[in-house]
C-alpha cells in the first residue's frame, strides 16, 4: 500500500516540472492547492460544492493550450462565483503556469496517484506533509512561518485544549497549531463521537479561528482547515489592526507571531494598546494577553529581545506579569527555525481574574546552553523536548509540583521579587556555557604557532637522525623501534 509519505514525495517531485516556468516553491504549493482541491473534491464525493462545468473531469479531459486557457478561466470563475469556502480558497487566484505542457503533466500525474491509499491515511495528513516539505526547502522561504512540528505538538500537549474551548492563533500561517489542537481534542473524544451533536457542531464551526496577513498563506490555511474538518473562520488581515480588537476572546492561544518591526517603522493601527510599539512581537504579546479570557492560557514563541528590551519592552513585561501568571519560560536551542541565528523562547502564561500581581514566581527551563546545533544532521525531535515536558508537569497552567534543579540543572524558579530587582528583565541564564569555556581555554594564536613550529623542528631532527642511522654501518635495525 502506498503511504502518505510516498504520495507527498511524488507530488513534491512534480515541482521540477515547473522549473522552466520560473515558478518558486511557494507558488508551486499554491498551484498544487488549486489542482488538489478539484481532485480531492472528486475523490471524496464533494463535487457538489463546485459549479457544474468547473470540476476535475472538465479539466482532465483537455490538453495543451485549450486546457491552460480553460484552467485560467476556471480559477477566475471559482474565485468570483463559487460561493462559500470554495470562493475563499480561489479568491484572486492566478496561475503561474505559462507552458501548456507543464499543466498537462501536473494534471495527468495527479490524476493517477494512489488516491485510495491517500483517503485511507487521510487527505489532511497528505496536505500537511506537503506544507512541511515546502517549509523544509530553504529556497521556498516558507520555513520562516512554519514552526517545527515537535515544538507545536509539545506546546499543544502542555496546554491541553478541551472540547468547548475557543482556540485561536492570531498569526496562523498554514494553521499548524490549530490543526494539532484539533487532533488533540479528537484523540481524547473518539474523533468527537463522545460529544453531543451540539458540541460536535461547535468543534467544527466555532472552536477554532485564526488570522493570516498573507493572502496566499491564508489560502493554504483554509485548504488545510477544510481537509481536517475545521470550518471556523481563518480571517485575512492583521491582528495588530482594528480587526484584532473585534476578535472573540480565547480560552487558549497557541502562536508563533512574526518577528521584526512593522513595515516602514509604523506602529500597529489599533488604538486599544496601552503601550504602542513598532516591535511586532511586543505588539502581538499585548494582543495575546488582552485577548485571553480570565483563566485562559497561552503558549507563545517569542525572540529573546522580548525578555530584555528596555523602556516599552519593560513596561509590557510588567503589564504581562500583573495581568497574567507568567509561570514558565522555555529557552529554545538555536538552529530550529529557518533563520538559523534567531534565539527564541516559549512563554507560557495564564490570564488572571484581576489585573494586578498575578505572577508570584516564574520557572525557566534552559534548553539552549550546551545543546547541539540542530539541523539536518542533528534533527530537532520530540525526544529533545521530553525532559522539559516531564519537568513542566501535567497541569496546563504549570501548577503541578516542580523541582528546582539548582545551578547545575536546567530548570530553576525565580520569585517575582528576584525578577523585579533585575528591572523585570527575564533574560536569565545560570548554566556555564562549555563551548565558551573551551574557547577561553584555547592558547593564543602565537602560542599555537610556536607549538607547531617546535613539533615540526623536533620531527625534522628525529627524521635526520633516522636517516643517518640507516646510512650507517649495517647495524641500524638493532636501534630502530617502529
**Cα atoms in the Cβ-side hemisphere of radius 13 Å centred on 221:** 28
Rounded CA gap, 338 and 194, in Å?
40
Whether residue 163 is found in the same domain as residue 89: no
Whether residue 75 is found in the same domain as residue 152: no
Whether residue 163 is found in the same domain as residue 97: no
pLDDT digits (tens, 9 = 90+) for 220-247: 899 999 889 898 789 999 999 999 999 9
pTM, two decimal places: 0.85
Give the model's pLDDT for residue 5: 85
Whether residue 20 is found in the same domain as residue 160: no
Q: Report the number of distinct structural domains present in the chain.
A: 3
CA 75, 77, 79, 82 torsion-angle sign: negative
Whether residue 95 is found in the same domain as residue 161: no
Residue of 321, 322, 289 lying closest to 168 (CA atoms): 289
Q: Can you give the residue range of the structural domain that contains 8? A: 4-133
Residue 377 lies in a domain: yes
Binning pLDDT at 50, 70 and 90, where does residue 126 land?
A: confident
Within 160-229, residue ranges assigned H as helices are 176-188, 197-205, 215-227
Residue at which a domain ends, from 74, 104, 133? 133
Whether residue 208 is found in the same domain as residue 306: yes
Residue 431 lies in a domain: no
pLDDT digits (tens, 9 = 90+) for 141-183: 554 557 889 999 999 999 999 999 999 999 999 899 999 999 9
pLDDT digits (tens, 9 = 90+) for 292-302: 999 999 999 99
Specify which residues 331 forms β-bridges with. Answer: 345, 366
Whether residue 179 is found in the same domain as residue 116: no
Residue at which a domain ends, from 99, 133, 167? 133
Whether residue 465 is found in the same domain as residue 350: no
Specify which residues 411 forms β-bridges with. Answer: 365
Residue at which a domain ends, from 100, 133, 166? 133
Distances (CA, A) of 130 to 120, 154, 355: 17, 21, 43
Whether residue 407 is found in the same domain as residue 459: no
Domain at 47, CATH number: 1.20.1260.30
Whether residue 229 is found in the same domain as residue 336: yes
Residue 432 lies in a domain: no
Rounded CA gap, 235 and 138, in Å?
27
Whether residue 156 is found in the same domain as residue 106: no
Beta strands in 133-249 (DSSP E): 167-169, 208-212, 234-236
- Cell numbers linked to 357: 500581581
Residue 169 lies in a domain: yes
Whether residue 470 is found in the same domain as residue 358: no
Amino acid at each position: 500500500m502506498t503511504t502518505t509519505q510516498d504520495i507527498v514525495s511524488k507530488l513534491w517531485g512534480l515541482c521540477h516540472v515547473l522549473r522552466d516556468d520560473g515558478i518558486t516553491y511557494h507558488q508551486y504549493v499554491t498551484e498544487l492547492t488549486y489542482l488538489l482541491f478539484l481532485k480531492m473534491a472528486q475523490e471524496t464525493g464533494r463535487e457538489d460544492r463546485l459549479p457544474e462545468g468547473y470540476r476535475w473531469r472538465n479539466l482532465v479531459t483537455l490538453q495543451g493550450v485549450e486546457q491552460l486557457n480553460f484552467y485560467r478561466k476556471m480559477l477566475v470563475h471559482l474565485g468570483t462565483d463559487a460561493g462559500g469556502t470554495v470562493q475563499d480558497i480561489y479568491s484572486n487566484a492566478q496561475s503561474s503556469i505559462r507552458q501548456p505542457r507543464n499543466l498537462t503533466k501536473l494534471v495527468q500525474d495527479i490524476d493517477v496517484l494512489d488516491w485510495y491509499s491517500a483517503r485511507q491515511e487521510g487527505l489532511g495528513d497528505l496536505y500537511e506533509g506537503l506544507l512541511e516539505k515546502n517549509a523544509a526547502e530553504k529556497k521556498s522561504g516558507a520555513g520562516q512561518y512554519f514552526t517545527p512540528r515537535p515544538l507545536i505538538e509539545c506546546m499543544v500537549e502542555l496546554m491541553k485544549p478541551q472540547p468547548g474551548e475557543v482556540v485561536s492563533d492570531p498569526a496562523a500561517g498554514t494553521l499548524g497549531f490549530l490543526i494539532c489542537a484539533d487532533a488533540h481534542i479528537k484523540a481524547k473524544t473518539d474523533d468527537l463521537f463522545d460529544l453531543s451533536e451540539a458540541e460536535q457542531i461547535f468543534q467544527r464551526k466555532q472552536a477554532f479561528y485564526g488570522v493570516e496577513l498573507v493572502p496566499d498563506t491564508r489560502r493554504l490555511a483554509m485548504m488545510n482547515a477544510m481537509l481536517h474538518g475545521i470550518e471556523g473562520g481563518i480571517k485575512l488581515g492583521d491582528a495588530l489592526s482594528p480587526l484584532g480588537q473585534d476578535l472573540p476572546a480565547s480560552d487558549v492561544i497557541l502562536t508563533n507571531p512574526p518577528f521584526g518591526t512593522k513595515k516602514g517603522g509604523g506602529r500597529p493601527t489599533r488604538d486599544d494598546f496601552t503601550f504602542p510599539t513598532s516591535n511586532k512581537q511586543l505588539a502581538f504579546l499585548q494582543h495575546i494577553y488582552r485577548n485571553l479570557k480570565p483563566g485562559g492560557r497561552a503558549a507563545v514563541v517569542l525572540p529573546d529581545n522580548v525578555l530584555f528590551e528596555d523602556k516599552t519592552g519593560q513596561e509590557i513585561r510588567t503589564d504581562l506579569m500583573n495581568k497574567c501568571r507568567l509561570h514558565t519560560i522555555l529557552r529554545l536551542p538555536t538552529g530550529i527555525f529557518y533563520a538559523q541565528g534567531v534565539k527564541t523562547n516559549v512563554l507560557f502564561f495564564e490570564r488572571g481574574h484581576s489585573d494586578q500581581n498575578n505572577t508570584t514566581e516564574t520557572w525557566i527551563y534552559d534548553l539552549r546552553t550546551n545543546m547541539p546545533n540542530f539541523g539536518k544532521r542533528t534533527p530537532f525531535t520530540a525526544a529533545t523536548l521530553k525532559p522539559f515536558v516531564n519537568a513542566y508537569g501535567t497541569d496546563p497552567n504549570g501548577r503541578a509540583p516542580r523541582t528546582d534543579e539548582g545551578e547545575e540543572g536546567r530548570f530553576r524558579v525565580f520569585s517575582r521579587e528576584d525578577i523585579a530587582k533585575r528591572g523585570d528583565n527575564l533574560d536569565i541564564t545560570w548554566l556555564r556555557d562549555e563551548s565558551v569555556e573551551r574557547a577561553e581555554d584555547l592558547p593564543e594564536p602565537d602560542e599555537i604557532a610556536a607549538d607547531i613550529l617546535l613539533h615540526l623542528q623536533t620531527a625534522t631532527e628525529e627524521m635526520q637522525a633516522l636517516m643517518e642511522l640507516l646510512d650507517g654501518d649495517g647495524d641500524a635495525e638493532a636501534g630502530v623501534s617502529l
